[in-house]
Amino acid sequence: MTHILPEDIERASMSIIARELEERGIVLPAEHAAVVRRVIHTTADFDFAENLCFTSDAVKSGIKALADGTTIITDTNMAKAGISKPALAKLGGQVCCFMADEDVARTAKEQDTTRAVAAMEKATEQFPNAVFAIGNAPTALLRIAELIEEGIRPALVIGVPVGFVNVVESKKAALAICQAKGIPTILAMGRKGGSGVAAAICNALLYQATEIVCW
């Protein structure tokens, strides 16, 4: 059967994902299913059915925050580009990424740190209660965790940086701190993740917040 229209392709893809999850004996918690399936749809990687970690009520908290128009902060313009602008518009929300800002580059150089760290510091000054979607830089996730210890309270932390250096460690540290401080968190434990995964998680929450059907 040939699928041409985007909605037909997506519907068929989600049906395949549901079938393969069943064949693998994987039963997703109802609250997490839309997020996990959206990530698998984006990556074609069923490992995310097992390595996505959710703190209590993380999905519910994320949906409520986005429904209220809470700003999303990303650590890459790629993740920013992948987040649904129609869904954001319906909710009165926005997505911001400060990584390419000149003042961020200047601050990073002056403080001998990374742009990711400087970008998160700028973001938390302007939007301390944002949804933070970190898909690339473990230093960004670690800085958010440190700032949580210092008192900020994000609506949700999405921590899915990808790679080999400090990635696993940053996720473990963020999970421990967010659990201790009661911050809703969705993490991709291990090395896998990426900007596409961060955007997919945001979109799964946005679609639910706008009552768009997620298969």
Q: Which residue numbers are catalytic? A: 41
Q: How far apart are CA 156 and CA 56, in angstroms?
A: 12
Length of the chain: 215
Q: How far apart are CA 32 and CA 26, in angstroms?
A: 13
The conformation of residue 54, written as its DSSP 8-state character, comes to: E
Q: How many CB atoms are closer than 10 A to CB 171?
A: 27
Q: Are strands 95-96 and 52-54 parallel, antiparallel or unpaired?
A: unpaired
E strand map for 101-194: 131-134, 156-159, 185-188
